[in-house]
Every structure is written in C-alpha cells, then in structure tokens.
C-alpha cells in the first residue's frame, strides 16, 4: 500500500480546509491593511497555500471517484 | 473601516467570498460530516470556488493598492519621497520617474519587488537620516524616460538654447537631464546631482 493510498480522505480534507482558512486569512489581511508586507505575503504565500489546499481537495475527490468506479465495475468471471 | 470596505466594491466582494468560504470550512471542521456528494460540493465551494474568487478580486485590489502613495510610504525610508510627491509645489522630477510605455506599470512593479526585498533585509531598522545617506538609485536616471514625452523634436523644446546646443549629447545620453545645472536630480532634497557631462552607462 503506497502512502497515497494510506492517506485518509477525511483527515486530508480537514488539512486542506485548515490550509484554505490560513490562505484566506492572509488574503483578507492584505485587503484590510494594504501595505507591502501583507500584500506580498497574500500574493505569494497566501495564494500558494490556497493552490496547495485546492490541489489536495482535487486529489482526494478524484481518488474517491476512481475507487467508486472500480467498485462499480463488474468482476471478470474468469 | 466598514465604510472604506463598502466604498470599495472589489474589496467588499473579496471579503464576502472569504467570509462565505470560512463559514463553510468551519462548519466542515466542526461537524465532520461523511464524505458524500453534498459534502464534496460544499467543500468545492469552500476550498475551490469562493477562495478563487477571493484571490482574483484580492489580486486586483492588491494591485490597485500598490499604485497608491500610501503603499510606498508605508516603509519609513520612503517618507520624504512620499511627502515630496504629495507636494504640488515640488519642483522634483520624481513624479516622472516611473517607466512609461505599454508595460510601464508592470515593469515598475517588478522593480518595486527589489525595493521590498532591500527594505526587508537591509533598511528596515535603519534611521531615516542614515537611509538618506546610504540608499542610492540603482541606475542613473535615464534620459529616455524624459524623452517618452519630451521628444526633443518640438519647437518649444528646441527654443531653449541649452537644449539646442546639447541636442545630440542629450539624445545620446552623454548629458543627463537630471544633471546639476540642468533640471537637477529627481529627488533634489536627498541626493547630490551627478556631475554634468557625466557618461551614463545604460
């Protein structure tokens, strides 16, 4: 079993949700205090974390979908 | 604060999207529902659609913020330059120091990234008096920047005898428009001007 298969979907999605909250906090901070540090952090670290979180979500959902398709496929009688 | 957010529709939209996403994500983290289709759709909105909308509107709002003088003036070493640029009676050339052209704003912002880097790692704790002494312009002021508007071909420009006599040397960059005796440095309050007839490398 690979590390990808071992990753629990629910746990990883929780991590993704927490990362998204951090990214959103950085983005909102840059809008409430538009000075160089918050704006640059939001446009680099904030968006990077957001993309990572969305990537995790896509990965988990696609993996679940593939599992469902595999389960639904009729078994070979031989 | 609230009136400022409401008066800026982009920021209001971005914050509304962020708040909606945060509500969905906190609900997911607290309630821990099973990963069925409905939960996946909620998470698609909370992790994908709404944060993307926040990022896009936030990018535009952030980019607009970088055009404001207050943004540059947020770093203390920029205070005299900000004050000078806000003074309508200032004779400094600072107002013309951004590069022009179709991508002028973009190239200026890219150059600004270096300013942020230098400030963060070198000048953050420097006093203003020390900063005036130690911070220097990276490259000499380019005549080409002036010549985007002052083409050196107009009759009123050539009617000035100093312009006419130095025409070729100004066009060739041998004599800087920002020389002492000509128009002076872009920020005359902070730096001595380069000597006239100084050879300016590109």
Whether B105 and B76 share a structural domain? yes
Do B78 and B155 lie in a common domain? yes
Q: Which pLDDT belongs to residue B8?
A: 81
Give contacts of B116 with chain A, Cβ < 8 Å: 36-37, 40
Specify if B197 maps to a domain: no
* φ, ψ at B194 (rounded to 5°): -65, 150
**Domain of B143, in residue numbers:** 69-171
Domain closes at, from B46, B65, B84? B65
Structurally, how many domains does chain B consist of? 2
pLDDT values of chain A reduced to their tens digit, one per residue, 78 residues: 566 555 677 788 999 999 999 999 999 999 998 888 888 889 889 999 999 999 999 999 888 888 888 888 776 665
Q: At residue B75, does pLDDT exceed 70?
A: yes
| Distance from the B67 Cα atom to the nearest Cα atom in chain A, whole angstroms | 11
Residue B17 has pLDDT above 60, yes or no: yes
Long-range (24+ apart) CB contacts under 8 A made by B116-123 are: B116/A36, B116/A37, B116/A40, B119/A36, B119/B75, B119/B77, B120/A37, B123/B75, B123/B77
Q: Within a domain: residue B166? A: yes
Judge if B114 and B48 occupy the same domain. Answer: no
CA distance B100 to B144: 10
* Of B24 and B149, the one with more pLDDT: B24
Q: Examine the pLDDT at B23 and tell me if it is beyond 70.
A: yes
CB B48 to CB A28 under 8 A? no
Residue B198 lies in a domain: no
**Does residue B123 form part of some domain?**
yes
- Over residues B150-168, mean pLDDT: 88
Q: Does one domain contain both B61 and B88?
A: no
What's the pLDDT tens digit per position in B109-141? 777 778 888 888 888 888 888 887 788 777 777
What average pLDDT does the segment B100-114 reach?
68
CA distances from B183 to A45, B64, B98, B99 (A): 43, 31, 17, 18
Instruction: Round the average pLDDT of chain B to a whole number and report it.
Output: 81
pLDDT for position B173 = 86
Q: Could you tell me if B75 and B159 lie in one domain?
A: yes
- Please determine, for residue B108, whether its predicted confidence score (pLDDT) is greater than 80: no
Domain boundary among B15, B33, B65: B65
Q: Which of residues 42-101 of B touch A (CB under 8 A)?
A: 43-44, 46-48, 51-52, 54-55, 58-59, 61-62, 65-66, 68, 70-71, 74-75
Smallest Cβ–Cβ distance between B51 and the set A23, A30, A35 belongs to A23
Asked if B141 and B178 touch (Cβ cutoff 8 Å), the reply is yes
Give the span between the Cα atoms of A63 and B127, in whole angstroms. 56
Shared-domain flag, residues B167 and B73: yes
pLDDT above 60 (res B36): yes
Among the listed ranges B9-13, B24-28, B90-94, B167-171, which one has the minimum average pLDDT value?
B90-94
CA–CA separation, B31 and B169 (whole Å): 74
B110 and B148, same domain (yes or no): yes
> Are the beta carbons of A57 and B59 separated by less than 8 Å?
no
Q: Which residue has the higher pLDDT, B65 or A14?
A: A14
**Is position B192 within any domain?**
no
CA distance B184 to B202: 19
Collapsing DSSP to helix, strand or coil, B99 comes out as: coil
Residue B9: CB atoms within 10 Å: 11
pLDDT of residue A5: 59
Q: Which of B5, B21, B113 shows the shortest C-beta gap to A20? A: B21
Question: What pTM does this model have?
Answer: 0.69
On whether both B82 and B144 belong to a single domain, the answer is yes
Domain boundary (B65, B84, B109) is at B65
Alpha helices in B44-196 (DSSP H): 50-65, 69-73, 79-86, 104-118, 128-134, 143-147, 155-158, 161-165, 167-171
Give Cα separations from A52 to A19, A23, A59, A73, B41 (angstroms).
8, 10, 10, 32, 18
Query: Is B186 inside any structural domain?
Result: no
CB contact under 8 A, A27 and B54: yes
A57-66, B75-84, B88-97: segment of lowest average pLDDT: B88-97
Whether B29 has its CB under 8 Å from any CB of chain A: the answer is yes
Task: Report the distance separating Cα B185 and Cα B85, nearest Å.
Answer: 14
Tell me whether residue B113 is in a domain: yes
Q: In terms of domains, do B41 and B92 share one?
A: no
Find, in chain B, the residue whose alpha carbon is nearest to that of A34: B65
Q: Residue B19: which pLDDT band, with cuts at 50, 70 and 90?
A: very high
Residues B76 and B60 placed together within one structural domain of the fold:
no
Question: Residue B36 falls within a domain, yes or no?
Answer: yes
Please state, as a whole number, how many other Cβ atoms lie within 10 Å of the Cβ of residue B71. Answer: 19
Contacts of B66 in chain A (CB under 8 A): 39
Taking the Cβ of residue B33 and every Cβ of chain A, the question of whether any pair is shorter than 8 Å is answered with: no
């Amino acid at each position: 079993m690979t590390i990808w298969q071992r990753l629990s979907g629910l746990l990883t999605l929780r991590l993704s949700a927490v990362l998204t909250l951090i990214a959103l906090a950085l983005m909102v901070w840059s809008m409430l205090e538009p000075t160089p540090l918050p704006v640059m952090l939001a446009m680099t670290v904030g968006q990077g974390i957001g993309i990572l979180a969305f990537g995790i979500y896509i990965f988990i959902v696609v993996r679940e979908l593939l599992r469902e398709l595999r389960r639904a496929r009729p078994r070979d009688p031989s | 604060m609230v009136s400022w957010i409401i008066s800026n529709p982009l920021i209001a939209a971005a914050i509304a999207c962020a708040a909606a996403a945060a509500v969905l994500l906190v609900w997911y983290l607290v309630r821990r529902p099973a990963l069925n289709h409905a939960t996946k759709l909620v998470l698609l909105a909370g992790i994908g659609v709404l944060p993307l909308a926040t990022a896009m509107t936030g990018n535009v709002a952030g980019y607009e913020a970088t055009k404001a003088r207050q943004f540059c003036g947020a770093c203390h070493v920029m205070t005299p330059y900000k004050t000078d640029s806000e003074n309508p009676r200032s004779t400094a050339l600072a107002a013309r120091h951004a590069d022009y052209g179709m991508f002028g704003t973009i190239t200026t912002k890219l150059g600004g990234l270096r300013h942020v880097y230098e400030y963060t790692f070198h000048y953050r704790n420097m006093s203003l008096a020390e900063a005036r002494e130690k911070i220097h312009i990276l490259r000499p002021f380019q005549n080409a920047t002036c010549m985007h508007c002052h083409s050196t071909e107009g009759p009123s420009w050539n009617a000035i005898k100093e312009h006419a006599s130095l025409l070729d040397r100004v066009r060739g960059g041998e004599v800087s428009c920002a020389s002492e005796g000509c128009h002076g440095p872009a920020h005359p309050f902070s730096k001595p001007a380069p000597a006239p007839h100084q050879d300016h490398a590109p």
